[in-house]
Chains A and B, each alone.
Chain A
């Protein structure tokens, strides 16, 4: 099958159309391809870059130092995908599961919140006793709701059961979709650092914690936390690149054709239905269905003719064009990062920095106005602590995500790149004195770099997306087109879930066997 498929890529061949073409070679796309190929469909995956992996790829920074390019941790990996595609036997393993959450403070009294609920309670008890008990109730309330909300995330039963909530849950979800995360947390807790840590944990991307509706992100984070064997957040041995390699291997073994270096210029539309793609060299490839692993707004704005979309969608997409984006910085250190007062267990977690509680709000405002924010909030991991294979000798990798930056700042990112590096280093230096002296190598990826590299940015966060049932997120407003990437999730995450569901939808099997999702 794959030979026949390969032949069809040659120009002039008029073979029968592919069953499905998948745009992008990220984890979501590869998962969809693997599932479709497993169902004996003829699948072609088109990746624009020379290697597969998308956001999950690993980069070699210098001799003996491998770092995760974008995804340093994996959120809520779909355990059904892991099991059904046999990813463990294809080389997937975890070095760190259920990573703790650390809120850094400049006075060195950091708050370390383990995944395990009673350990977390005792950690909180050192701050305020009242909050420790409130935390148990909070977890019970939110995790209970999150569990029931999972029918929005993926189908839970084999029947076409309509998604229905009890009156109480509907009221809770309704309330959460109007409350900001910080207002919601204010109701539960007193300790500022605990509130900041929880708010940053779920609102580091997407809606900021002060925006109404961001409380839903708390619920979705809870859903991710409670979704299976690897806890919510895990680090994969040899970076997330190993995950995409394993999924790619699975897809190949089922007979999918994976092609790199293929730029898709347009999604073809015939009679109001996606019918194939045109590459930028003019080659036309026909298919019965098209799946896109790119983010929704890039796919619909760049690849689909606007007159092929329903009335109003194009205008809305234009209005919702993301103004806020994320940057990524990688530092290679020649020693352990010197975070004051943080022991080894803390270094294995996800570290959050927000100089003040208002910092994310101010950053987001500045970003919306196209300005570089004054203070930065950061999300930091040190993948080389748990995974010594990544950096040889005593070197370490510090991976820093900077949220709430302007997508197109005044003056452009080219001139701000150095400024960004300096500010991040300055922020890190206050929490880890001596950090700067240990840095031997730096990689700065501004929002521009990220977009140019992956041809896809963050999904646009909106309450509508957080509340949409899975079918509405995966099915595009164009028949025959499906989304299978991270932006088809309620919150951006590399989980493979959207890929699996998109494949199911292409196959016409909307409902799914009983299983964890």
Chain B
């Protein structure tokens, strides 16, 4: 029986980054992954002979620059190719948004350009602040201190957004309604958002993607895995963790599905909070207060994906320019999002879902055979739990029709070039990745579940009530807005506890 200092559950970006950080400090670390290959959400699959795409997302949330440098990814072949523009169709009008401020100013009205640039700078600064804050992981308070007074919540940048609505933030910056809808579509891609709700302004932090990794998401994972292995991390794929072993509220290891026991002094879980505690730790819903709170953590899964194989590179409408390499949105005005959100929360698939299209093979030609193309569609506001029964062929067809109708706006005649497709529903994301409700964010983005309140105000910086168990997945800390930050924070919390000796 092997003995490790730390077990990391899940070989997604968060898990690998956490493991890398621990191994760099000299701990013996093993990463356990259920799937036959590492990657989690960041994988590239062949969904049709010769055509490859990332099934769950085309881009990751931004990876903090400091992390990229410390992981040495570029050396292992991991680099990003950010798009320089995006386009959006809103009520019959197309807008193109450029990343560069000069292009932006040339292409749109002066007021809108200044507002958008201002908003972007604000988000960039806030995200940088959050990344910075995520590197603070103080050691777990000793029992005596915990008895004396509850731990003080360290502030997070961007907390002021928890009081505002997305609509008001956008309205104060961007005068043009179509531009507002475009920007909102970009911020809320793959999520169900009610833009008038106080706190929906938090989505402002979620915008910037990392850009498409070279070789698709799998390329990024491959580089990450190489980097982690180089640091001394063991990665075991195809093994599923069945439960956590605890003795008197103290982790002693994990039990695998095969019955094998892996002893460890600490466990970092990169799964979401419900999976970690309700399934692995076996907290039953009504056993006590903390289990009840975990049960009431709200999930916000609303993403469905459709991958299309196209037998030729589509002919786009004029005026799209460089935006073909970026996300192409078909969005309703902000007011219509409210209705989509209502339907989503009621468990109904709306008739006009917000759709985002991407042509990854235009950025990275290796993903499709020569002369052919791959298109992905991300549909938002697709409920994970349906009111009117399970998904059937008819519902899937209707979903696909929505995606194709959206694609036809940018490339008329694209329907004739489709040679293969694959539909990925929230429930399929859940069964493939183990994320409850297929929520890639690991929890609804709401003021009481974000930043300093993620997952709960008392569970800060990756610490959990179980000693030796650290939460470094999507449900903790900086997570839905940045990639890798919460994994690293959990690792830092573990290392800090090692130093105090509390944990040994």
Contacts and interface: CB of A to CB of B under 8 A. Distances in A.
Contact of B296 (A187, A213, A362, A462): A187
A373 B91 CA distance: 24
Helix, strand, loop or mixed for chain A's interface?
helix
Given A187-B292, A187-B296, A319-B172, A213 B198 contact: yes
A280 interface: no
Contacts of B448: 175, 178-180, 183, 212
B150 interface: yes
B197 A211 contact: yes
Nearest to B162: A178
A368 interface: yes
Given A183-B448, A187-B292, A358-B346, A168 B198 contact: no
A168 B172 CA distance: 36
B296 A212 contact: no
A319 B453 contact: no
A365 interface: yes
Contacts of B149: 167-168
A464 B446 CA distance: 18
B201 to A, nearest CB: 11
Given A212-B199, A319-B168, A369-B335, A171 B293 contact: no
What class of interface size applies to chain A in its complex with B?
20 to 34
Contacts of B198: 207, 211-213, 463
B292 A174 contact: no
Contacts of A175: 448, 453, 457
A365 B163 contact: no
Bin the interface of chain B by size.
Answer: 20 to 34
A179 B452 CA distance: 13
A362 B342 CA distance: 7
A449 interface: no
B145 to A, nearest CB: 12
B338 interface: yes
A368 B338 contact: yes
A207 B457 CA distance: 23
Contacts of A463: 163, 198
Contacts of B446: 180, 212
Contacts of A358: 342, 345-346
A171 B197 contact: no
Contacts of B339: 365
A210 B152 CA distance: 27
Interface in B108-166: 149-150, 152-153, 162-163
Contacts of B293: 187
B180 to A, nearest CB: 15
B47 interface: no
Contacts of A362: 342
A186 interface: yes
Contacts of B338: 365, 368-369
A183 B162 contact: no
B387 to A, nearest CB: 12
Nearest to B338: A365
A213 B196 CA distance: 14
Chain B CB within 10 Å, residue with most, of A358, A365, A463: A365
Interface string A293-335: 0000000000000000000000000010000000000000000
Interface of A: 167-168, 171, 174-175, 178-180, 183, 186-187, 207, 210-213, 319, 358, 361-362, 365, 368-369, 462-464
Given A178-B162, A213-B199, 16 more contacts: A168-B150, A175-B453, A178-B453, A183-B296, A183-B448, A187-B296, A212-B162, A212-B197, A212-B198, A212-B199, A213-B198, A358-B345, A358-B346, A361-B342, A365-B196, A368-B338
19 contacts: A174-B153, A175-B448, A175-B457, A178-B162, A179-B448, A183-B448, A186-B296, A207-B198, A212-B162, A212-B197, A212-B198, A212-B446, A212-B448, A213-B199, A213-B447, A362-B342, A365-B194, A365-B339, A369-B335
- 4 closest Cβ pairs, A-B complex: A212-B447, A179-B448, A178-B447, A178-B448
